[in-house]
C-alpha cells in the first residue's frame, strides 16, 4: 500500500499515513472495537463515491446521477438483510452513535426515559452518559453488572424497569465479555411496555456468523457499528421491523444527517459481502476461541477476569486483586511501549476513575484477522502478563517488544 499520490501533493499527510500503516503492521491491535479491514474494503472507502451527494434512499433521491450510488446502497442493504435476517435495514448512519441517535429521535420525545447500562459497567456514551447528547436530552436511569459474578443483573434490571418505567431499555455493550440474554431484557421491556434497543456494535460480526445469539426478531431495534467484529467499512447500521421502517429512515435522513457517506456505504457493501462467505463464519468462531485462550492463559498467570472468562471477542481484566498498585492506565502505557495496543477500562464496582481505571480490555478480532490462532494467543497472554507484572522494567518491555516484532513479521497485514 503506497500513498504515492498523497506524497506528491502533501508529504506531511503521506508521512502520517505511512506511519500509521507501519504502526498497524508492527503492533498487536487488541483494542476490542478495532479490526483490520480488507484492502477491498479500504479501496471502496477510498473511492470516487466520496464525491457524490445522494440524500434520500435508493430510487428516491434528492439529486440526479445517483444510479451507481443506488446500486451500492441496495447491495449493502440486501447483504445486511441476509447477514442479520432483519426486515428493514438502514445503512446510512455515519457511526454507531448516530444509529442510536436515529432510534431515539424516531421513538422518543425530549425528556422521555431511557434505561441503560452504566458506562463504567460496560455501557456506551450514546446510551445516556451526561456528557453525551443522550444524557442531556433524555431522562436516564442505569442498571449495573453484578460485581460478584460479572454478569448483568437481570433481576435488578427488571426491578429497576418497574420502578423507573422507561420508554426504552437499551441492551448491548462495549465491555461485556458474556453472551447477552436478549429475551430476558425483552421480558423486562414487555412488562413496562417499553421499546427494546439492542446495540450490537461490538458483536455485529459474531451475531452475523451465529456464534453469538441474535437480538434480531427479539428487540424492536437493533443498531450496530460496521467496522468492529463485522470488519466492513466504517459507520453504523439500524435494523428493525417493517412497521418502524419509515420512522427510522426519516430519523436518519433528514432527521439527523444530510448526505450519506456513500464511499463508506460502499465499504459496508464490500465488507458485508465478505462476511457472507463461509470463511467469515470460521473467522468469527476463531475470534471467540482466541478470546477464550487469551483469557484462560491470563487467568493461569493469576490475573482476575471479570465474569471469570468470555463468550465473545473480548476479555476484561480487573487488576485490583493481582496488582493492586497498578492502574489500567499504567498497564496500557507499558503494554503500548512493548507494541501491544489495548485500552484501560473501568470494571464493575470501579474504585478508581474513568480516566485512570482499574482494568484493561483486550479483544481478539484484529489479531484473528491477521491469522493468529489459539497457540499465538496463549503466547500473547504470556507477553501481556510479563509486561503487566514487570511494568517498570525497560528490559522486559524491550524483550517483549522484540517478540511482538517477530510475531508481526510472521503474520503480515497488508502484503
Q: Does 225 bind ligand PLP (CB under 6 A)?
A: yes
CB 298 within 8 A of CB 305: yes
Shortest Å, Cβ 173 to ligand PLP: 5
Shortest Å, Cβ 256 to ligand PLP: 12
> Roughly how many angstroms between the first and final C-alpha of the chain, as a whole number?
8
From 22-30, 141-149, 151-159, 168-176, span contacting ligand PLP (CB under 6 A): 168-176
Shortest Å, Cβ 197 to ligand PLP: 10
Nearer to ligand PLP, 174 or 368 (CB): 174
Q: Is cis: bond before 254, omega within 30 of 0?
A: yes
Query: Coil, helix or strand for 245?
Result: helix
Query: Coil, helix or strand for 52?
Result: coil
Contacts of 25 (CB under 8 A, 6+ apart): 408, 412, 413, 414
From 137-145, 199-207, 304-312, 326-334, span contacting ligand PLP (CB under 6 A): 199-207
The DSSP secondary structure of 59-87, one letter per residue, reads TEESSS--HHHHHHHHHHHHHHHHHH--S
From 62-70, 171-179, 368-376, 391-399, span contacting ligand PLP (CB under 6 A): 171-179
Provide the total of helices (H) and of strands (E) in the chain, helices listed first.
16, 15
From 69-77, 159-167, 196-204, 404-412, span contacting ligand PLP (CB under 6 A): 196-204
Q: Is 124 labelled as part of a ligand binding site?
A: yes
Q: Does 221 bind ligand PLP (CB under 6 A)?
A: no
CB 111 within 8 A of CB 313: no
Shortest Å, Cβ 363 to ligand PLP: 11
Task: Show the site string, 60-99: x = touches ligand PLP by CB under 6 A, - = not.
Answer: -----------------------------------xxx--
Calpha distance 378→117 (Å, rounded): 31
Q: Is 355 labelled as part of a ligand binding site?
A: yes
Calpha distance 297→285 (Å, rounded): 18
Torsion (CA) 10, 21, 97, 149 in degrees, nearest 10: -160
Q: Does 286 bind ligand PLP (CB under 6 A)?
A: no
Shortest Å, Cβ 412 to ligand PLP: 27
Q: Does 164 bind ligand PLP (CB under 6 A)?
A: no
Residue found by looking up cell 500500500 in the block: 1
Q: Does 387 bind ligand PLP (CB under 6 A)?
A: no
Q: Is 353 labelled as part of a ligand binding site?
A: yes
Shortest Å, Cβ 246 to ligand PLP: 24
Angle between helices 328-337 and 394-410 (to 10 degrees): 60
Query: Coil, helix or strand for 283?
Result: helix
Q: Does 199 bind ligand PLP (CB under 6 A)?
A: yes
Q: Pairing between strand 195-199 and 221-225? A: parallel
Nearer to ligand PLP, 334 or 366 (CB): 366
Considering only 128, 166, 172, 205, the residue that binds ligand PLP (CB under 6 A) is: 172
Shortest Å, Cβ 192 to ligand PLP: 22
Residue of 153, 160, 157 lying closest to 176 (CA atoms):
153
Cell of residue 98, nine digits: 448516530
How many chain residues bind ligand PLP (CB under 6 A)? 14
Shortest Å, Cβ 129 to ligand PLP: 11
Q: In this structure, what are the phi and psi dihedrals at residue 373, rounded to the nearest 5 degrees?
A: -110, -170
Shortest Å, Cβ 97 to ligand PLP: 3
Considering only 90, 132, 174, 310, the residue that binds ligand PLP (CB under 6 A) is: 174
Considering only 88, 202, 231, 320, the residue that binds ligand PLP (CB under 6 A) is: 202
Q: Hey, which residues does 199 pair with through a beta bridge?
A: 223
Q: Is 119 labelled as part of a ligand binding site?
A: yes
Cell of residue 183, nine digits: 429475551
Binding-site residues, please?
Answer: 119, 123-125, 242, 353-355
Positions in the binding site for ligand PLP (CB under 6 A): 33, 95-97, 124, 126, 172-174, 199, 201-202, 225, 236
Binding-site residues for (6S)-5,6,7,8-tetrahydrofolate, please?
Answer: 119, 123-125, 242, 353-355
Amino acid at each position: 500500500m503506497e500513498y504515492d499520490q498523497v506524497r506528491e501533493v502533501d508529504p506531511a499527510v503521506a508521512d502520517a499515513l505511512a506511519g500509521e500503516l507501519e504502526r498497524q503492521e508492527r503492533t498487536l491491535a487488541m483494542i476490542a472495537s478495532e479490526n483490520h479491514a480488507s484492502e477491498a474494503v479500504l479501496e471502496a472507502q477510498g473511492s470516487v463515491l466520496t464525491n457524490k451527494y445522494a440524500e434520500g434512499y435508493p430510487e428516491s433521491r434528492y439529486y440526479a446521477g445517483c444510479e451507481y450510488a443506488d446500486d451500492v446502497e441496495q447491495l449493502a442493504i440486501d447483504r445486511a438483510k441476509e447477514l442479520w435476517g432483519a426486515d428493514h435495514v438502514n445503512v446510512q448512519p455515519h457511526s454507531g452513535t448516530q444509529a442510536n441517535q436515529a432510534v431515539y429521535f424516531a421513538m422518543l420525545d425530549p425528556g422521555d426515559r431511557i434505561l441503560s447500562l452504566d458506562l463504567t459497567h460496560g455501557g456506551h456514551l450514546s446510551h445516556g452518559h451526561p456528557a453525551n447528547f443522550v444524557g442531556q436530552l433524555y431522562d436516564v436511569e442505569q442498571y449495573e453488572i453484578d460485581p460478584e459474578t460479572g454478569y448483568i443483573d437481570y433481576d435488578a434490571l427488571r426491578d429497576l424497569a418497574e420502578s423507573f418505567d422507561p420508554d426504552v431499555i437499551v441492551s448491548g455493550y462495549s465491555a461485556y465479555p458474556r453472551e447477552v440474554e436478549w429475551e430476558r431484557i425483552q421480558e423486562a421491556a414487555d412488562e413496562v411496555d417499553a421499546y427494546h434497543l439492542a446495540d450490537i456494535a461490538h458483536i455485529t460480526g459474531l451475531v452475523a456468523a451465529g456464534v453469538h445469539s441474535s437480538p434480531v426478531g427479539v428487540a424492536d431495534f437493533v443498531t450496530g457499528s460496521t467496522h468492529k467484529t463485522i470488519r466492513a467499512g466504517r459507520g453504523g447500521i439500524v435494523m428493525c421491523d417493517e412497521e418502524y421502517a419509515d420512522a427510522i429512515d426519516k430519523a436518519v435522513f433528514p432527521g439527523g444527517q444530510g448526505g450519506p457517506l456513500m464511499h463508506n456505504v460502499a465499504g459496508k457493501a464490500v465488507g458485508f459481502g465478505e462476511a457472507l462467505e463461509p470463511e467469515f463464519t470460521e473467522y468469527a468462531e476463531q475470534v471467540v476461541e482466541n478470546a477464550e485462550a487469551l483469557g484462560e492463559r491470563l487467568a493461569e498467570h493469576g490475573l482476575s477476569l471479570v465474569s471469570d472468562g468470555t463468550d465473545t471477542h473480548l476479555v476484561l481484566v480487573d487488576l485490583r486483586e493481582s496488582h493492586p498498585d497498578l492502574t489500567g492506565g499504567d498497564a496500557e502505557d507499558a503494554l503500548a511501549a512493548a507494541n501491544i495496543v489495548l485500552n484501560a477500562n473501568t470494571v464493575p464496582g470501579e474504585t478508581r476513575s474513568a480516566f485512570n481505571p482499574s482494568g484493561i480490555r483486550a479483544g481478539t478480532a484484529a489479531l484473528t484477522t491477521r491469522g493468529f490462532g489459539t497457540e499465538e494467543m496463549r503466547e500473547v497472554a504470556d507477553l501481556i502478563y510479563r509486561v503487566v507484572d514487570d511494568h517498570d522494567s525497560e528490559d522486559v518491555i524491550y524483550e517483549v517488544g522484540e517478540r511482538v516484532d517477530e510475531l508481526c513479521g510472521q503474520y503480515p497485514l497488508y502484503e
